[in-house]
Amino acid sequence: MAASILAWYDRLGRILPFRGTKDPYLVLVSEVMAQQTQIGRVGDAWREFTTTFPSFERLAAASPADVLRAWRGLGYNRRALNLWRAAGVVVEAHGGVLPSDVTALERLPGIGPYTARAVAAIAFGAPVGAVDTNVRRVLSRSLSGAIDGFSTADLQRVADASVPTDRPADWTHALMDVGATFCRTRKPDCEACPARRSCRYASEAGSREQAAVVRPAPKARVAASPFRSSSRWLRGRILDRLREIDGAEWHDLVAPIGDHDGPAVTRALSLLAAEGLIELQPGAGLRARLPLS
C-alpha cells in the first residue's frame, strides 16, 4: 500500500508552497497555519508571514500585536499567540533551535500530538506517524475495513509502524492527500484511490460500513442564525478593527457592532482579553488595543 500511495504522490500529489522546505521553523509555521484552515488558503499566508518573521528569533522579538496583524484572515487567532509563545520558548530554552524530539515538541505552547509528529517527520525525517482526520480515515479503512476500526492508541501505533523509514516526510504528505482527495468521510472514491488494491474497506467492508451508518431521514432543521449574529463574527470584527490601529493607541469600540449591542460587545471584549488576544484600558469602558507584550 505504501508503495502504491507514494507512487501516486510522486506523480499527482498536491503542490503546495511550503512542501518544498525542511526548515524546522518554516515547517512548524505551515503546520500551525494548516490547523482548522483550508489548505488552499495557507500558501499565500505562509509566504507573507514567514517573510515578515523569517526565524524563531524574529518572531519571538515581535509584539503579539504585530503577530496578530500578520495572522489576519486565517482565523482561530489563539494559534498565532501560541506560535509566538512557542518561538519564545525555542529561543530562550533551546537556543533558537527547534527540538526534534516529539515529546519536547509537544511541550511547546499550542503543539499537540499531530503537529509534533508532522514536524518531526517532515523537518527531521523521524519515522513517526502524524494522525489527523484524513490519515485516520485512510489507515483505519484500509487496514481494519472500518472508519472506527482502531482505538486512538492502536491507531497511533499503526501509524508509526506504517512510515517508510526512507521517506517519512513524503509519506506524511501523501497520506493526507489521499484522505483529502479520495478517502472522504462520505462517498469515498475507492475506484480512483491508489490504495484500493490493498484496502480492506474497498475490497470487503465498504458496503457493510455504508449500510451501518444509514440513519433515518433527519427532522426538519431549524434555520441557523446568520453568521453575522454570532459571537465569533463579533470577535472577528473587533480584532479586525484593532488590527487597523498602529502602535500603542487605544481604540473606542462604539456599540452597536453589526447586530450586537453594548452588553454583547462588552462580553466579547472580556472573552478576548481573557484569551490574551486584546488589552482593555482600565476604567475606560469599551477601549481596547492589541496586546503589546
pLDDT value, residue 108: 98
Residues serving a catalytic function are: 31
- The answer to whether the beta carbons of residues 24 and 123 sit under 8 Å apart is yes
Q: How many CB atoms lie within 10 A of CB 51?
A: 9
Q: For residue range 200-247, what is the model confidence (pLDDT) as tens digits?
A: 999 875 455 554 454 454 555 544 455 788 988 999 999 999 999 888
Contacts of 48 (CB under 8 A, 6+ apart): 70
Give the pLDDT band of residue 265 (cuts 50, 70, 90).
very high
Which has the closest alpha carbon to 44: 52, 61, 237? 52
- The answer to whether the beta carbons of residues 68 and 279 sit under 8 Å apart is no
pLDDT value, residue 211: 46
Contacts of 28 (CB under 8 A, 6+ apart): 83, 86, 98, 111, 115, 119, 123
Give the pLDDT band of residue 38 (cuts 50, 70, 90).
confident
Under CATH, which architecture does the 227-289 domain have?
A: Orthogonal Bundle (1.10)
pLDDT at 62 over 70: yes
pLDDT value, residue 214: 46
Domain at 2-180, CATH homologous superfamily: Hypothetical protein; domain 2 (1.10.340.30)
Q: What pTM did the predictor assign?
A: 0.89
Mean pLDDT, the chain, as a whole number? 91
- The answer to whether the beta carbons of residues 27 and 123 sit under 8 Å apart is yes
pLDDT at 109 over 80: yes
- Higher pLDDT: 220 or 122? It is 122
pLDDT value, residue 212: 47
Do the domains spanning 2-180 and 227-289 agree at the CATH topology level?
A: no
- The answer to whether the beta carbons of residues 174 and 8 sit under 8 Å apart is yes
pLDDT value, residue 228: 81
Q: In the structure grid, which three cell numbers stand for residue 182, read together? A: 479520495
How far does CA 215 lie from the centroid of its chain? Answer: 31
Which has the closest alpha carbon to 25: 4, 64, 2, 52? 52
Q: In the structure grid, which three cell numbers stand for residue 179, read together? A: 484522505
Q: For residue range 128-147, what is the model confidence (pLDDT) as tens digits?
A: 999 999 999 999 999 999 99
> Could you tell me the residue ranges of all domains in the chain?
2-180, 227-289
